Structure formats: structure tokens, C-alpha cells
Amino acid sequence: MRGGSRKWMPTMDDKSPRYRAFVTGFTALGVAGIAVVAAFFPPFPIPAWLVGAFTVAPAEHWWYSLSDAHRAKWIYDVVTTSAEAVYPLVVAIAFWLWTRPLRRGVTIPWRRGLVCATLIGLASSLWFVLGWHWAMRYQGPALVALYILVNVIWLSLTVRGMRWSAVHQSWWGNLGASTSLYLWATIMAFPWLGESI
């Protein structure tokens, strides 16, 4: 090695735009897939269920409004499956748009990440404040305290990762911090606080 410098990961400067787009796109699909799977396990994140309520329910309503002669099971399956695909599509597109600077070979600005994390953190705090009564009644203080602790640790590590990647101009670090931010927002930031599912 010349100059004694050792790199543990290649930089994105020497990678083609197509490679950067592939890596960010593959990561967006991974984040969307994890967000969908997480919707069926505790803490049952609300964003997935909320999007489902606005897409699947109208699709089912439309199917039930059909006459008996036109109400085929395969139509129901196609309509509801298409409606269920909206949530991962929204998550993947949002992540893809968020990582636009990474596809161009530059890191996402530190302040932009901090503003996004702060806004989601405030919304998450509001979610816990508004759902506190039901959370204490149905989830119990121990589980709610665990949710809050995991949220604080996850968000703190994500913000530190964003700051580190901005200081070191690390493309991979920035992608990791962005992935962590999106996973936190879709999995832990807004847990189900009502009656146990």
C-alpha cells in the first residue's frame, strides 16, 4: 500500500452513477420489505396500518359494491393485493427520493437529516403523549418504557451516524444513517399503543 493509507470500503467517487443507483435502489427495496414485515410483529407500527386503512378498506368496499355476478374471488385478490402494495411502494419511493444526493455521489447534507429526524422525533413524541392513557392501560408501563428507551437510543445513534458521515464525507456511512432513519420511522417511531392485537 502506497502512503500507508488503508481504506476499509471503496469510496463512491470511483463508482459509476449506475452502481450508486443500484445500491440505493436495492437499499430502498430492503427498507420497504423490512417495513412491511415489521407491520405484523410488535410493536405493530401504525404507518403501515394507517396506509392500509386508506387503501385496502376502500378496495374491499368497492369489491363488495359489485353485483353478485361480477364479484369474483380473483378480482378481490387482485384489488386487495394491489392496495396492500401501496405502503411498501410509498416507503421505497420516499427513500429513493431522500437518497438522491447519494445517487449523485455526494452525501446528504447534515442539516437536512437533522431536520427530518427532529420532525419525526417530535411527531413520535406527540404520538406517545396523545396515546399515553391507552398505552398505560393496554400495553403497560414496562412495555411503554421499553418502546421509549429503544426510540431514544435508536434516534440518538442515527443522528450520531448522520453527523459522523457528514464529518467524514462517508457515502456508505450516510447510506447507513439514512437507512437507520427510515427503519426507525417505519418500525419504532409510531408503535401501536392501544388494546393488544
As a whole number of angstroms, the distance between CA 189 and CA 35 comes to 12
Return the higher-pLDDT residue of 1 and 71: 71
**Least reliable range by pLDDT among 15-19, 92-96, 111-115, 139-143:** 15-19
Cell of 22: 443500484
**Residue 69 pLDDT class (50, 70, 90 cuts):** confident
Instruction: Tell me the mean pLDDT in the region 52-68.
Output: 89
Instruction: Check: CB of residue 148 under 8 Å from CB of residue 127.
Output: no
> Is the pLDDT assigned to residue 13 strictly greater than 70?
no
CA distance to 19, 95, 169, 175, 178, per residue, from 102 (Å): 11, 11, 11, 7, 10
Instruction: Check: CB of residue 162 under 8 Å from CB of residue 174.
Output: yes
Tens-digit pLDDT profile for residues 36-49: 898 888 888 888 88
Percent of the chain with pLDDT over 90: 53
How is the chain split into domains, by residue range?
A: 15-187
Average pLDDT over all residues of the chain:
88
Tens-digit pLDDT profile for residues 136-185: 888 889 999 999 999 999 999 999 999 999 899 899 999 999 999 999 99
Q: What is the CA radius of gyration of the chain?
A: 20
Percent of the chain with pLDDT over 70: 92
Instruction: Tell me the mean pLDDT in the region 77-102.
Output: 92
pLDDT at 158: 96
101, burial (CB in 10 Å: exposed 0-12, middle 13-18, buried 19+): middle
